[in-house]
Chains A and B, each alone.
Chain A
Amino acid sequence: MTVAIVGAAETTELGRIPDMSQIQLHADAALNAFADAGIRARDIDGVATAGESPVNIAHYLGIAPRWVDGSSVGGCSFMLHVRHAAAAIEAGYAHTVLITHGESGRSGVGRGGRGGGGGSLLAQFESPYGSMGPTTMFTIGVLRYMKQYGMTHEQLAMVAVVQREWAGMNPRASYRDPITVDDVLNSRMIAYPFHLLECCLVTDGGGALILTSAERAADFPHKPVYILGSGESVETPMVSQMKDLTSSQAFRIAGSEAMRSAGINHGDVDHMMVYDAFAHLPIWGLEDLGFCGRGEAPAFIEDGNTRPGGTLPLNTNGGGLSYMHSGMYGMYALQESVRQMRGTAPAQVPGAAVSLCLGVGGMFAASGCIVMGNELP
């Protein structure tokens, strides 16, 4: 397949532009490229950028992408984006990709970049209200979910109780002693309605993965674990701007794309990981990927479906709540999926052949989803 460039433009002005922030320079160039190509943001399904996060660009322009690239390696990043985009289009990961650059190099207006400086939307419209990172922002939609679907505090606590059961079977888990719903509800209040035991650990650690072609995989000492499908998306850098506080658009797009590309149905999944920075993440994951109907995941977990011996073993290493959480936990979720597919997990799910691993980035800002299998598709 040959890939082509069908739109190209620079910002309306060049030189000295004190009346535009850096993100608006990205947007101005993008709108001009849309005009050049005769399209709008809704026609774009892939976003790549450097200097700003692709989350910021997608949210600012109103794009719901299914392919994202934030490779940031200096001034040649955009050459890499073109190359990655061509590969993505060839692979069917995206049809129409937007690559943007904008830099207030001279005027220095709103030069927030990835961290989000004083001119970022986050600094202007969230930080003044006493937001304190994940404990106060990741958690903010849960009371709405409780009102909408009737989830109880006990059901939320049950997520932590079940994951501690898995951790009890894992010698490498940070916390292994069994806990009860009362233990969770009596632990220190962090940010109502979240207690200490409903929040992830903070630990040190690391992980790495090596990939090669299925053809070459036979030359390596371990049983290969195959990538059957994958998906990705981003929604917004500000949790208060989620389209629905009780559901993640990034989960929905990444999850459905991963299952579609793997050619699997819900019944094919033997083992599942959902990045659990907080106790409600598995609930959002189960519902956004369609394993449970809206509002049904709390009862699904309470009824024992995700515990050892259940119909859908979930977070079998103990998860971020009990196993470990260094900050970017996604690597550990992938490691557990690999162990399960190799048949070497401490709490091995007997006969598991397909594992789905759902990751979150930021606070529902981004998602990546990988489906693995232990047989060649």
Chain B
Amino acid sequence: MADSPRRRPRPLGQPTPETQHFWDGTKAGELRLQRCNDCGHVYFPPRSLCPACSSRNVDVFSASGKGKLLSYVINHRPHPSFDGPYAIAVVELDEGPTMLSNIVDCDQSPEALVLDMPLEVTFEDNGDLAVPLFRPRESQS
């Protein structure tokens, strides 16, 4: 399990019919994205249509789980679910889409959190939902 600065339960959303595949994926240890069969566009967050060409002909696939640190802030104000300053990050996935996440197994400091550092997904079980988080990885792996 990832070493996370979190101490109390995260505020979780509720899956909808269009996002259920994503949350089923995280439970199964997969990061699932969607791809348009008409134009090839890969997108996130989940929805039952392609935002690039309006097609309904879209598929779900299992992504590599690899990405890089695009940007972040380190929040210093108290949050009921987190202890101490913690980073909220935008991760750019190798497949193209960006997603918000936390960076684990890493000091929550500007010195440790270097932009463009390679990351890989890890999943944190939160009971009903498993939440995708990211941790540093060796760039060649």
Contacts and interface: CB of A to CB of B under 8 A. Distances in A.
A-B interaction: yes
Nearest to A148: B115
Contact of A140 (B12, B73, B82): B73
A109 B18 CA distance: 10
A93 interface: no
Contacts of A142: 71, 73
B72 interface: yes
B73 A62 contact: no
A18 B50 CA distance: 21
Contacts of B13: 118-120, 122-125, 127-128
Interface in B40-72: 44-45, 47-54, 56, 70-72
B51 A60 contact: yes
A144 B68 CA distance: 12
Main secondary structure of the interface of B (DSSP, over half): loop
A129 B102 contact: yes
A132 B70 contact: no
B50 to A, nearest CB: 8
A191 B17 contact: no
Nearest to A63: B51
Interface string A186-200: 001111111000000
B70 A144 contact: yes
Contacts of A125: 13, 45, 99-100
A238 interface: yes
A141 B71 contact: yes
B41 to A, nearest CB: 9
B71 A143 contact: yes
A34 interface: yes
Contacts of B81: 130
A21 B48 CA distance: 10
Given A21-B18, A241-B98, A245-B70, A130 B88 contact: yes
B98 A240 contact: yes
A135 interface: yes
B10 interface: yes
B19 interface: yes
Contact of A147 (B6, B54, B74, B115): B115
Contact of A119 (B16, B47, B89): B16
A126 B100 contact: yes
A191 B90 contact: no
A144 B113 CA distance: 12
A192 B54 contact: no
A40 B86 contact: no
A190 B77 contact: yes
Contact of A131 (B74, B99, B100, B131): B100
Contacts of B126: 128
A101 B124 CA distance: 37
A82 interface: no
Interface string A15-47: 000111101100110010010000011100000
B103 to A, nearest CB: 10
Contacts of B110: 192-193
B49 to A, nearest CB: 6
Contact of B77 (A28, A117, A191): A191
Contact of B82 (A18, A27, A130, A143): A130
Contacts of B101: 129
B79 interface: yes
B18 to A, nearest CB: 5
Interface in A86-117: 109-110, 117
A123 B54 contact: no
Given A18-B17, A31-B49, A118-B14, 18 more contacts: A31-B56, A41-B51, A61-B51, A110-B17, A121-B19, A124-B14, A124-B15, A126-B100, A128-B10, A129-B101, A130-B75, A132-B79, A139-B73, A143-B72, A144-B71, A191-B74, A193-B110, A245-B70
Interface of B: 6, 10-19, 44-45, 47-54, 56, 70-77, 79, 81-82, 85-86, 88-90, 98-102, 110, 115-116, 126, 131
27 contacts: A21-B18, A27-B48, A42-B53, A61-B51, A62-B54, A109-B17, A119-B15, A123-B13, A124-B45, A129-B89, A130-B10, A130-B81, A131-B88, A131-B100, A132-B75, A141-B71, A142-B73, A144-B115, A191-B74, A191-B76, A192-B110, A193-B73, A194-B73, A238-B100, A241-B44, A245-B70, A245-B71
Interface of A: 18-21, 23-24, 27-28, 31, 34, 40-42, 59-62, 109-110, 117-132, 135-137, 139-144, 147, 188-194, 238, 240-241, 245
- Top 5 nearest A-B pairs by Cβ distance? A62-B51, A124-B13, A123-B13, A21-B16, A144-B71
